[in-house]
Structure 1
């Protein structure tokens, strides 16, 4: 799943019914994701090969511009040399992970696979990916942004390379903010406190005479967007989706008093939130502030022009935080042509190709050299703030006040973690008690970890 999710949220369902449904789905997902892990020993028996021959590649069929760019890149790579022939297969994004899981169980994975970042750790646990450290030059790894490197590293080894990352913050309508006399953080590193943010929303509401002037990104749908979009509240409050010291439990960190209080604060914003399920409020001028991701910049910029400002998410006490990470590439451990697969992957990591994909989908480049050349993310460019946030990655440890971009947890338990938090967020947004919702999520996550014996490698 991408950060934006895939389906619209459906309001007005009872929390208890949703909890039973989500728990059942999460349990089924956990079984599917972990099946076979404990019955295997060592990685699947692939081989490096001689760096020539056919390479099979799977790619999620997301934005049309992404598909077209990759199809062109495959065609141009094949035409540029005769040693490696890339064969590309596009799979629907909505069912992509399910198809990968089915192929994994059948032993029918391609040589080169793309996948949403946080699922990497489950794939590694299932021994479906091979480390890239001996397949890519050191200078390629060193050129990754800190955020991208953190996402692709697990247990001290690099398992994936990404051509693009992600960024999020608050988009502001400068004209509406100025008319209301709102002061807003203009430099990277500056941010509102949660109280200052709430005061800004109220000032705009008073000036415009409209109560619902805040877009919380609900038009992005549910699914992974809930985790990607609202985990920054947890991190900024000093908590986390799970304790990253040993990934053994979410208790005391996901449901800590500070996190509970932070979500109560978010609930207090509800009267000012435009439901905006069609994502039109900010563009049409109904809302002055939009909690959203990089993918909205092209649309928002076209609509507002010079009146668009890019601001950080509010600080709940542990510093402003943002999600990061997106789709990336890994070479499967079952591949018999890993060197040849690496050749195509290295082609995709060239600045020209990284920038082509970044321009196609609007995402931040995942390499430092391409970031500097980017028309949107380079120094002094419109989305420089998102680039600065990624440069201040929290890495693989617990988020601290000094870092900003936080990878989703590096654990095989992630599929259940994200499912449990998505349900908690929906309960909280619908008016449920934050402590009860987060306690339920903790119980679900910790039970999954216990059921899987702490996800110890067999």
Structure 2
């Protein structure tokens, strides 16, 4: 069967073929007073209270017509939320609106969990291009997001000044790979235990998210545009070259392979490649003067930054698509986008929302805004994304530990293509 739902490492081991969700048993229902009942699922987290406020406001505005109920799903392990959706898809008990991490859009669409929302989104032209691209599968829009994210280069102002290093202030001046490497080397002081740059090392989604721009900027890729093949892409010469460049940092001790959670904040790393959300956490360290500059680019490539955040789609179990669209649009009004983005300290996904945020026009947040609007690049949309992300993350871990770049990426290509072939 063609449609195979692959949502997580756990799901890859436990879920068989899924031929699409039935539309006969659905979660949309009519209450005793004639109201249309809608349900939503979202992973429990920082935005739970804000989302509850949004849903309460929606219910007040649509009293007697539509009543929505949001359920926040605890994430007892990294994939608990995705596993719950997998189980609900199998048993036809999906909610009307489903929240999903951006790279899962292709999986959910191909498996029949979510349905196209083309023509349903009001003021669609106000959303940043990367959000629309992230939510599109096989030329149809399936999901939309209220927030965006990116990765940029944070730096210790005092350390760079003492080293005589001036970080780029405009997108056009962004450091090339060679300039970034030279700065990291100059800032590394092994006698004092100070590393040139900090980046998080794990097997999770972070690896492909933060290294992706290095690959794309160099003209590399992870998979064919149509998702048909990984061989020649994730292990292609441009991708290999990009990973060899990153490997230099760990091989030469410019990056700590066993960093503490607050290495940068404690002054033990002069720079840090980290997500856009980090700026809010740094406010808890008033003794550390910091700034943000742009993600470094390949000398021969274009400026690229990563993007992607949690998005909303309408499930195939939704009976009242018109009511679901009403709720979907309410969540994504400019007012509510601003409310949700403020809680997460993330860039809003609507360009008109940025006009309400004066602080994003000034240093240091202007860097994050520039990247969201000008250089954002979503992760690959492929039904084999969970395999790609997991295997690539493991390979890069090995590469940072000294593994052969070509050999490690060849393994990734083989694993991903096996998964692709299994689905066809």
TM-score (norm 2): 0.89
Aligned counterpart, 2:400: 429
Native 8 Å contact 1:282 1:300 kept in 2? no
Q: CA deviation at 1:48?
A: 9.5
SS at match of 2:291: strand
Aligned-residue RMSD, C-alpha: 2.6
Are residues 187 and 276 of structure 1, via their aligned partners in 2, closer, same or farther at CA, if it must alter by over 3 Å?
Answer: farther
SS at match of 2:85: helix
Aligned 1:84-233 pairs, distance under 5 A: 84-93=66-75, 94=78, 95-137=80-122, 140-206=123-189, 209-218=192-201, 221-233=202-214
Q: How far, CA to CA, are the matches of 1:62 and 1:438 in structure 2?
A: 34
2:348 is aligned, of 319, 341, 365, to: 365
The worse-fitting range, judged by mean Cα deviation, of 201-210 and 249-258 is 201-210
Q: Number of residue pairs matched?
A: 408
Q: How far, CA to CA, are the matches of 1:163 and 1:258 in structure 2?
A: 33
Native 8 Å contact 2:115 2:314 kept in 1? yes
Aligned counterpart, 2:265: 283
The worse-fitting range, judged by mean Cα deviation, of 186-195 and 46-55 is 46-55
Are residues 136 and 239 of structure 1, via their aligned partners in 2, closer, same or farther at CA, if it must alter by over 3 Å?
Answer: same
Aligned counterpart, 1:352: 335
Q: CA deviation at 1:29?
A: 3.7
Q: How far, CA to CA, are the matches of 2:303 and 2:280 in structure 1?
A: 24
- In structure 1, runs of 5+ residues without a counterpart are 1-24, 393-403, 454-458
Are residues 449 and 273 of structure 1, via their aligned partners in 2, closer, same or farther at CA, if it must alter by over 3 Å?
Answer: same
Q: CA deviation at 1:315?
A: 1.5
Q: How far, CA to CA, are the matches of 2:181 and 2:422 in structure 1?
A: 42
Q: How far, CA to CA, are the matches of 2:58 and 2:395 in structure 1?
A: 45
The worse-fitting range, judged by mean Cα deviation, of 192-201 and 295-304 is 295-304
Are residues 276 and 79 of structure 1, via their aligned partners in 2, closer, same or farther at CA, if it must alter by over 3 Å?
Answer: farther
Q: How far, CA to CA, are the matches of 1:376 and 1:77 in structure 2?
A: 29
Aligned 1:247-326 pairs, distance under 5 A: 247-270=227-250, 271-275=253-257, 277-303=259-285, 307-316=289-298, 317-326=300-309
Q: CA deviation at 1:237?
A: 2.2
Aligned counterpart, 1:410: 381
Aligned counterpart, 1:58: 41
- In structure 2, runs of 5+ residues without a counterpart are 1-6
Q: How far, CA to CA, are the matches of 2:165 and 2:189 in structure 1?
A: 11
Q: How far, CA to CA, are the matches of 1:143 and 1:207 in structure 2?
A: 48
Q: CA deviation at 1:217?
A: 2.7
Deviations 1:41-94 (A, max 9, x none): x9845799999511111011123xx11111122222222331211111111233
The worse-fitting range, judged by mean Cα deviation, of 85-94 and 380-389 is 380-389
SS at match of 2:389: helix
Q: How far, CA to CA, are the matches of 1:423 and 1:70 in structure 2?
A: 34
Native 8 Å contact 1:215 1:275 kept in 2? no
Are residues 178 and 186 of structure 1, via their aligned partners in 2, closer, same or farther at CA, if it must alter by over 3 Å?
Answer: same
Native 8 Å contact 2:197 2:271 kept in 1? yes
Q: CA deviation at 1:183?
A: 2.7
Q: CA deviation at 1:307?
A: 3.1
Q: How far, CA to CA, are the matches of 2:55 and 2:11 in structure 1?
A: 33
SS at match of 2:188: helix
Native 8 Å contact 2:128 2:350 kept in 1? yes
Are residues 275 and 27 of structure 1, via their aligned partners in 2, closer, same or farther at CA, if it must alter by over 3 Å?
Answer: closer
Are residues 197 and 134 of structure 1, via their aligned partners in 2, closer, same or farther at CA, if it must alter by over 3 Å?
Answer: closer
Q: How far, CA to CA, are the matches of 2:353 and 2:61 in structure 1?
A: 22
TM-score (norm 1): 0.83
Are residues 208 and 182 of structure 1, via their aligned partners in 2, closer, same or farther at CA, if it must alter by over 3 Å?
Answer: farther
Q: CA deviation at 1:355?
A: 0.7
Native 8 Å contact 1:120 1:152 kept in 2? yes
Aligned counterpart, 2:220: 239
Q: How far, CA to CA, are the matches of 1:193 and 1:370 in structure 2?
A: 31
Q: CA deviation at 1:148?
A: 0.9
1:419 is aligned, of 390, 402, 423, to: 390
Native 8 Å contact 1:103 1:109 kept in 2? yes
Native 8 Å contact 2:103 2:134 kept in 1? yes
Q: How far, CA to CA, are the matches of 1:179 and 1:313 in structure 2?
A: 22
SS at match of 1:56: strand
